[in-house]
Amino acid sequence: MNRTAVFVDAGYLFAQGSVALTGSKKARTALILDASKAIAALKSIVEQKAPSSSLLRIYWYDGAVGGVRPTTDQAALANLDDVKLRLGFINSHGQQKGVDSLIVTDLIELARLKSISDAVLLSGDEDVRVGVQIAQNYGVRLHLIGIAPSRGSQSPQLLQEADTTSEWSPDMISNFLSLREDQSAQIIDIVDVVVTDNPQILGEQQILEKIEAAVATFVASLAAADVQGIVAYWETARGVPTELDRKILPICGTALGRNLDRTEIRHMRSCFQTTVKKRVDG
């Protein structure tokens, strides 16, 4: 079958992509991914490396907390045409687990079934090398993509195993990956706006209004890609995405000078959904 599948290790993309852009590894939360542009870049590689083949699909491998619910970024990717999201899990130390085995399994199975003639792999991990070797034994040509400096970020043995190698430069990465603006100043602004009274003497309505003000300022600080991801998340799940819920709770808690009770948390989450929908509707 004259088709190409693309295999993306998202952990490698974010980690090494941040190094290429800034010179040091940044936390995932400090980065913004333009999913559509990233997928377009991968499709372009397919056209370059296997011009006579058609695209089967792009497999995007990432970790999820508990291995269940996707983040807003992951939801946005999963909703794109030609993309299949495959999730491992994030352990208690924040480490991505199970992704390499998913890549190896899919690569071998597609090769064994003669579903692909070529494979494009964006990864640097030595652990996927065995999958590359077996797929090649089935006749698949393997095109490995690295992120500059790939010689320092990819396994030497994996580089040697590949049929072709390519390197994405910082300029290339900057087309779809960017550094998020420092939100610490924005959070300070939120606190300055809402912390004006002694929390012990606030009335119920005042408390709710302060929560609403904090949530509104937080939503206004979100990047357009974040909002798109939230909308994508809501297509398969409800409520506030976990990674955002964890950010809003301490902000509102700081605004009130204490932890929120259950009723206040429900109000905060309801307010978040309403405020995001208003932003989407313009």
Please check whether residue 195 is in contact with residue 217, taking contact to mean a CB–CB distance below 8 angstroms: no
Q: How far apart are CA 11 and CA 62, in angstroms?
A: 6
- Residue 266: the pLDDT is 95
Token digits for 80? Answer: 């794109």
- Residue 94: the pLDDT is 55
List pLDDT tens digits, range 175-234: 999 998 765 545 545 555 444 444 455 678 889 999 999 999 999 989 898 999 999 999
- Residue 27: the pLDDT is 87
Please check whether residue 28 is in contact with residue 14, taking contact to mean a CB–CB distance below 8 angstroms: yes
Please check whether residue 60 is in contact with residue 86, taking contact to mean a CB–CB distance below 8 angstroms: yes
Q: How far apart are CA 237 and CA 231, in angstroms?
A: 10
- Residue 92: the pLDDT is 52
- Residue 172: the pLDDT is 96
- Residue 137: the pLDDT is 97
- Residue 109: the pLDDT is 97
Q: How far apart are CA 26 and CA 44, in angstroms?
A: 27
Residues of the chain where predicted confidence (pLDDT) is lower than 50: 185, 188, 193-199
- Residue 197: the pLDDT is 47
Ordered by where they begin, the domains of the chain are 3-178 (3.40.50.1010), 181-281 (no CATH)
- Residue 105: the pLDDT is 96
